[in-house]
Amino acid sequence: MSSPTFSSPATIFMFFCFFFINLPFSNSLLKSPLINASARRAPRQLSVNYYAKSCPQVESLVGSVTSNMFKEAPASGPATIRLFFHDCFVEGCDGSILISSKAGSKELAEKDAEDNKDIAKEAFEGINKAKAIVESKCPGVVSCADILAIATRNFVHLVGGPYYEVKKGRWDGKLSKASRVHQNLPQSNSTVDQLLKLFSSKGLTSEDLVVLSGAHTIGFAHCKQFVNRIYNYKGTKKPDPYMDPRLFKALKMSCPQFGGNVDIVAPFDVTTPFSFDNAYYGNLEAKLGLLASDQALSLDPRTKPLVQELAKDKHKFFQAFADAMEKMGGIGVKRGRKHGEFRKDCTMHHM
């Protein structure tokens, strides 16, 4: 959720060369039962068949774009998943993150908030391409918010994750303010208390927190997201004691305390960085979590049991993830012209 991104192979080469030579793969990392993570149902107005009559081909139209995007720009996968998270957590799942800031406006749109600046541009481009194709076949019918939800599911599946039905019927939101972003998103150094409070404010549980954090099974983060864990953990001027020494050594080589290449990234999941699986949870048990907010999930008694459960069973993680994505996809759904609209162009309000 915090800063998933792909970068060029050169920027991650040093990290991989060092870390993977020094990390013996162990089945114990990938082993480990799940509690029943049933998700609350999405709002009643959402339906899998919402466009059955008005645009029955919407899924295949969006699918043609996402499959091509994934082949041409793999960065579009984790970036789009992140885009959906960031959209839903700020003003609800309403496509407001897709709106561009107006020239000369004092108030920037969500897209230009600091927390969203390093989302790969391919994510935005993919949604705009999908919207254009859908508009050519079903003008004025399908919301940008629903296209983003469908595209996210497609990318989850394309990178090896579960396939799940997407309930549709979201209207596009009219409000998009950068000033609303930071306080509504998890941060790389958030404590479990802070995370639980934030998720609860969205109608999500501690189980949802642990399951949705599993999206960090793919993607990369820039050094700025974890540099304090290496050099100054919680103001101690020492490294985080809950970091495996091999990971510490690799990260220190890649990310100097000051200066350094700002394009250098490290994978959230250091064992299977390009596969959507449950290795993320085994990594947390082995002190191989990249972000402080990730590693904290394996240390807090409120979240640790589920981390252990999910590390044991990939199938149950997939089930739980699909349920949690449906639940998150129902946050703050807009309906009616007072709060919503159907944008023909996702980047601007319908006039």
Residue positions forming the annotated binding site = 87, 90, 92, 94, 96, 110, 186, 216-217, 269, 272, 277
Instruction: Determine contact, residues 203/40, Cβ cutoff 8 Å.
Output: yes
Instruction: Determine contact, residues 292/226, Cβ cutoff 8 Å.
Output: yes
Interior angle at CA 181, CA 82 and CA 116, nearest 5: 45
Distance of CA 120 to the CA centre of its chain: 12
The reply to whether 157 belongs to the active site is no
The pair of three-digit structure tokens given for residue 325, joined into one six-digit string: 């994505």
Instruction: Determine contact, residues 210/329, Cβ cutoff 8 Å.
Output: no
CA distance 53 to 152: 23
CA distance 323 to 165: 10
Instruction: Determine contact, residues 46/169, Cβ cutoff 8 Å.
Output: yes
DSSP 8-state code for residue 258: S
- Known binding site for heme b: residues? 216
Q: Which residues contact 202 (CB under 8 A, 6 or more apart)?
A: 88, 89, 328, 331, 332
Among 86, 157, 182, 339, the one annotated catalytic: 86
Look-up: residue for tokens 């466009």?
51
CA distance 238 to 229: 8
Give me the amino acid identity at 160: G
CA distance 296 to 19: 22
- Known binding site for Ca(2+): residues? 87, 90, 92, 94, 96, 110, 217, 269, 272, 277
CA distance 109 to 116: 10
Residues with catalytic roles: 86
